[in-house]
Amino acid sequence: MRGRRLLIVVILIIAAAVIVFFRTYDGKPGPLPSVDEIIAELNEYDSEADASVVLENVKLNEQQVFIPFVSNQGIHGMGFLKWENRKWRVARVDMSGRPEVRVTDHSDPSGRYVVWNINPLENVKEFRFYLIRDRNAGMSNGVYYYVPRVQMEMLVNVTEHPYGAMPFPDEWAGIIREDDKLGKAPAANIMDNIFSHSYSQPSTIYVGYLPVYANDASELGSSSKSGDEDTEFLMIMNETDLERPQK
Amino acid sequence: MQIDWHYSWNVVDAAAGLLGWLVVLGLVMRQRQKQETRRPIWKILFVTLAGFFSLSFKIPLFGQIVNIALLPLGLWAAYLFLRKRSWTEYRKFAWIGFTANYLFLVTALLAGFIHDSLYDRNDPSTYLAHLEKAKLVAIHPSAREATFEKVLFSSSLAEAKASDMSSTLDWYRESKLEDGTQYQQERFPYALLEAEARWGSGLHASAYLEADGKGLLLATKDRYYYYRSEKPMLKMEVRE
């Protein structure tokens, strides 16, 4: 009697493990679907996509592909495919084509890409991307602190590259990693913070961009974006947000 | 993750923790020898572990945050569970588990003292001990051309002296004054990345270098340090 009951329990556990394994197992990425299939999948995912031309498949990493496309109305949009649960699936469709950050690895800042797909008719000459951390200074818990300003630039010629994906430069990834190391709370739980004098970084690091237009062009209209868990939004910056030191 | 491990490995804390658990194990084994009825070891260890759980609070003591155990919650749970059956045989083990909290308090304090004597937190070379992979990055447009040379940096780091940081707010204001010479200039426009702290210290600091190449700012989790050296720590481009 006891033996049989034990056997049933063991079988149930194995069955549960197998089910969990197959529901979460992604497997090795297979070949990308054909262009027609991609278009069909994008349109199925978002009925407003109305995709007709795929400009390129940009492989971000083994599991993620960036698909800049043009719709039947000539709108430039961005699609993202992700290999999940043994299948290429559409993770997100963005119809604005405005720059955003695509995260391919949440644990490593170098797994981040700036992606965009701009209609050449918009007359954007250049995107200037910035990694910014505001300067900060003062005294906290009897300790003086000073956080240097970070302002690092990455230029993209939009006339030549109306769409594309650029990985964060190594220097950016290095600075973000450094910032993370200090920003991570040393305290293991909330109770620790009551007495602890540990000092948390009072500045946050962010990425923004500034569009540069051709002389006669009107500015990009406003647009809204909604992201998924792999999207990070970019701040739209003004010239006044930047420091221009006299050398 | 692996890189993380490398620098955050605090050898002293790890050794103290290991020592603590070995002592607990020793006490348990000795108690087991003393008792007449020998219960299975895994049950004994389970009760000891249960006894270890307690309602505790944290206070700062000798520059550390330590855990003071107050109510033996795990011990009570073990008592409720075993009550009539075999509590008398397990009671001592549950108490060993609870006392272990104080044992770990002592080893943690001891580890703190040993750590402080082994690794000097005020010495910049504690944080910047291994420079093989170090890279200098200009983080602000006001940074002039400069190159990092390990030998030059190490020799001037050895001479660098702790310096006054009480004017950080002035540094901040200088860069905001439109008619000042420092307007929109960053005082520390270089970051030194991927320098490693002394092995086993578990310490980490972000390092920034001053515009003239002679100052070093270290940011750690607890506080900031500022050092000045007589000669430049970087090879600076000569201004025409």
Q: How confident is the model at residue B1 (pLDDT cuts 50, 70, 90)?
A: very low
The pLDDT of A50-68, averaged and rounded, is 92
- Res B240: pLDDT: 53
Contacts of A53 (CB under 8 A, 6+ apart): A69, A70
Residue A167: pLDDT over 70: yes
Q: What is the pLDDT of residue A184?
A: 60
Q: What angle do CA A202, A207, A209 make, to 5 degrees?
A: 135
> How many C-beta neighbours within 10 Å does residue B210 have?
23
Instruction: Write down how long chain B is.
Output: 240
Residue B142 to residue A247, Cβ atoms within 8 A: yes
**CA-nearest residue of chain A to B64?**
A196
DSSP codes joined into one string, A134-197: --EEEEETTEEEEE--EEEEEEEETTT-SEEEEEPPHHHHHHHHHHHHHHS-S-SSHHHHHH--
Among B72, B34, B29, CA closest to B50: B72
Per-residue pLDDT tens for A199-234? 555 578 999 999 998 876 667 666 777 778 889 999
Task: Tell me how far apart the alpha carbons of residues B219 and A199 are, in angstroms, rounded to a whole number.
Answer: 10
Among partner residues B138, B191, B217, which is closest to A178 by beta-carbon distance? Answer: B191
**How much is the pLDDT for B190?**
96
Nearest-Cα residue of chain B relative to residue A169: B137
What's the helix, strand, coil split of chain B in %, to 5? 45, 20, 35
Confidence of residue B5 (pLDDT cuts 50, 70, 90): very low
CB A60 within 8 A of CB A66: yes
**Quick one: which of B63, B150, B158, B138 has its CA closest to B108?**
B63
Ramachandran sector of residue A208 (left: φ over 0; alpha: ψ -120 to 50; beta: rest)? beta
Which residues of B fall below an 8 Å CB-CB distance to A? 1, 57-60, 65, 135, 137-142, 144, 165-166, 168-169, 171-172, 175, 183-189, 191, 193-194, 204, 206, 208, 217, 219-224, 226
Tens of pLDDT, residue by residue over B142-153, are 999 999 999 999
CB contact under 8 A, B165 and A153: no
Domain regions of chain B by residue span: 2-118, 124-236
Using alpha carbons, list the distances in angstroms from residue B72 to A43, B50, B68. Answer: 61, 9, 11
Exposure on the CB side of residue B178, measured as CA atoms within 13 A: 0
Rounded to whole angstroms, the Cα distance separating A208 from B18 reads: 47
Check residue A106 and report its DSSP letter. T
The whole-number pLDDT of residue A202 equals: 59
What is the secondary structure of A6-73 as a DSSP string? HHHHHHHHHHHHHHHHHHH---S--PPPPHHHHHHHHHHH-TTT-EEEE---EEEETTEEEEEEEETT
In Å, how far is B206's CA from the nearest CA of chain A?
6
Q: How far is A104 from chain B (nearest CA, A)?
A: 16
E strand or H helix at B44? helix B41-52
pLDDT of the residue at A152: 96
**Whole-prediction pTM value?**
0.82
- A221 to chain B, minimum CA–CA distance in Å? 30
Residue A194 scores a pLDDT above 60:
no
> pLDDT band at A23, cuts 50/70/90?
confident
Interatomic CA distance for residues A169 and A178, integer angstroms: 14
Domain boundaries in chain A? 22-95, 98-247
Q: How far is A197 from chain B (nearest CA, A)?
A: 7
Residue B4: the pLDDT is 45
